Structure 1
């Protein structure tokens, strides 16, 4: 009986030890940014305004991370239904996008999506860049070591 009690106590302590080790008292403050450059491409393929805003906020959060200041290259690749994020007349996103671009974010639109949806460059914000296909861009960026992030 005494052995079972000791085993239960040991099991309990083993279960809570990892949780205790991750408290702020342990000194853990997240990963250390030891590289000179970090690169991430965010992919966005939905016209859901909440998801678009979430993606733009995530990008801004990355840019604001003190560990990554001055070390971060970001590209936002938009395709499929997400074309609305770059479409003129959708002032809903324009200011956020311009702010991100001023901070160095590449705003890329999939030309394949434009062709499929019969959209022209005149319908997009003038500060948007273009890639032949979003999938091709993501494949190339991933092979070049970029982190692929899908909000």
Structure 2
């Protein structure tokens, strides 16, 4: 099973809630999760700035990859930021948490993921 979470929230508590949902999904042993992608767009892209109040939560998600956990059956975890949203807010890619992927558009990325069979969940 593969899941795409979508966050466009500007409020730090909403961003924290979205990242907690992602962590909870990864920790749920009743879900056979193969891959998780969290896509931030709109005001949500502020969450993935290296100086964001939730940057450590983002780093924590990115550290849960099979390579980092030494668990070969761990789901792959990706965090993506919308390039359009970053450009519209004058946020350069080098100010993001290391490991965050910049995609051309958040909506395009979510559309591609859904076409590839990812379940879509908007958080929070």
TM-score by length of 1: 0.69
SS of the residue 1:137 aligns to = helix
Query: Is the 1:63–1:72 Cα contact (8 Å) retained in structure 2?
Result: no
- Write out the 4+ residue segments of structure 1 that deviate beyond 4 Å after TM superposition: none
Show the 5 A alignment for 1:1-150.
Answer: 38-68=1-31, 71-90=33-52, 92-104=53-65, 105-150=77-122
Find the structure with the greater CA-based Rg. 1
Give the gaps of 5 or more residues in structure 2: 66-76
Number of the residue aligned with 1:22: none
Q: Point out the structure with the larger strand share.
A: 2
TM-score by length of 2: 0.83
C-alpha distance in structure 1 between counterparts of 2:94 and 2:12, whole Å: 22
Aligned residues: 112
SS of the residue 1:41 aligns to = strand
Report which structure shows greater RCO (CA 8 Å, sep ≥6).
2
C-alpha distance in structure 2 between counterparts of 1:72 and 1:63, whole Å: 10
The CA deviation at 1:94 is 1.9
Q: Point out the structure with the larger helix share.
A: 1
Number of the residue aligned with 1:24: none
